[in-house]
A and B are shown apart, each in its own frame.
Chain A
Amino acid sequence: MQQLFSAFGVSWSLLIAQAVNFGIVLVALWYFLYKPVLAMLAKRQELVAQGVKEAEEINQLFARADDEAERRLKAADAEAEKLVANARTVAGSERTRLMKETEDRAASVMRDAEARAAEARAQALRESERDIARLAVLAAAKVMREPA
């Protein structure tokens, strides 16, 4: 064993020196490489996670805004429909009212005209009765005056 070690030049002091060398590299790389790089990776991951979260929030906000817009549009549509329907009913009732009024007026005009016509007829009848009476008187006078 001793021979083997001496053939390969193995000695405690050199073994310990090389182990210490490795230890130094380990500690140095820990502080100069592993820690900062892993910290950077963690930081970036956090940033990306935050970015994704924010994007999601913005998307949600957009979706909510879309919903709101649609809701308002629907409400406006409904309002407009109601208005139009209202206007239509109002217009319809107005028309019926107008038509009824017109009919009423026409009826009253007709009644008036009929009444006047009746009056005229009655007057004409009365006048013609008077004329006939006068004619009868005249005819009677003529008959009496003629020598028989």
Chain B
Amino acid sequence: MQVMHEGITVVLKAEQIGSVFGFPITNSLIMAWLIMALIIIGAYLFSRRLTLVPGKVQAGIEWAFTGALGYMADTLGSEALARRFFPLVATIFIFIAAINEAEFFPGVGSLGLMGASGFEPLLRAPTTDLNFTLALAAIAFFTIEVTGMATLGFFKYAGKYVSVKSPVDFAVGLIEFMSNLGRLISFSFRLFGNVFAGEVLVLVTSFFLPYVLPAPLMGFEMFIGLIQALVFSMLTLFFIKLAIMDPHEAH
């Protein structure tokens, strides 16, 4: 689906560049692999240089880890729970942040091939592809629900949503259930919408005021990208907290 308007092309979905064994390869998938490679290689090189007396980079990362773990322990109310969910929350943040920061690097969105439907960029930030944000939202959603069931027990957890004690309780449970399902949509569209809108904004301003306006806006959008990464991971953390709370303590 393309919207053409005086040369500005906004493509809502990631374009398919090719396919391997009938499996579609989109430009957002290629960029996801690129970012993954960067993250994993960076982490591997970093882990090999870990020393007991830390350098500046190591000290910074350790500071971030300690701070994040402390905050999570405060929120979840337990050091063990914080340690259990730290990898998930941290990975969500690191992956999204890395993608969002790489989004405006030269070549992303500008290098491409001329395909059947016109210009097709080779790289597209996965956070501007609903497949990626929905997949992340689903992972967060399942983690939250499974954690709730595992912590409270299936029936107690289900009792949060299905209650026949009174009509009011039943309605509240139903609303809660719908709002939980709604998280899938709010999680995925929040991230997608924010980053995609930023990209479109930069694209549009480069037509209105090229050379001047796009650069500061790119800086701002990189900041937004960090904030969105933080929002996604923090919301995951808070919903985990809500899920493990006893239903009677919660009210």
Contact = CB atoms under 8 A, between A and B. Distances in A.
A147 interface: no
30 contacts: A7-B1, A7-B12, A7-B13, A9-B12, A9-B14, A9-B130, A9-B131, A10-B134, A11-B24, A15-B135, A18-B129, A19-B139, A21-B36, A22-B91, A22-B95, A22-B135, A24-B40, A25-B39, A25-B40, A26-B87, A28-B36, A28-B39, A29-B40, A30-B91, A32-B44, A33-B46, A33-B47, A36-B47, A37-B61, A41-B65
A37 B65 contact: yes
Contacts of B46: 32-33
Interface in A1-20: 7-11, 13-19
Interface residues of A, number: 31
A8 B87 contact: no
Query: Chain A interface secondary structure, helix, strand, loop or mixed?
Result: helix
Contacts of B36: 21, 24-25, 28
8 tightest A-B CB contacts, nearest first? A9-B13, A32-B43, A18-B135, A8-B130, A14-B131, A19-B135, A33-B43, A18-B132
Interface in A22-50: 22, 24-26, 28-30, 32-34, 36-38, 40-41, 43-44, 47
A25 B52 contact: no
A37 B62 CA distance: 7
Given A14-B24, A21-B36, A8 B62 contact: no
Given A18-B126, A32-B46, A11 B131 contact: yes
B235 interface: no
Contacts of B134: 10, 15
B94 interface: yes
B196 to A, nearest CB: 10
Nearest to A4: B130
A34 B131 CA distance: 27
Interface residues of B, number: 43
B71 interface: no
A33 B65 CA distance: 10
Given A25-B39, A29-B87, A36 B29 contact: no
B26 interface: yes
Contact of A13 (B24, B33, B91, B95): B24
Contacts of B129: 9, 14, 18
Contacts of A9: 12-14, 26, 129-131
A143 B231 CA distance: 169
A39 B12 CA distance: 44
B50 A29 contact: no
Contacts of B66: 41
A10 B131 contact: yes
B32 A18 contact: yes
A8 B13 contact: yes
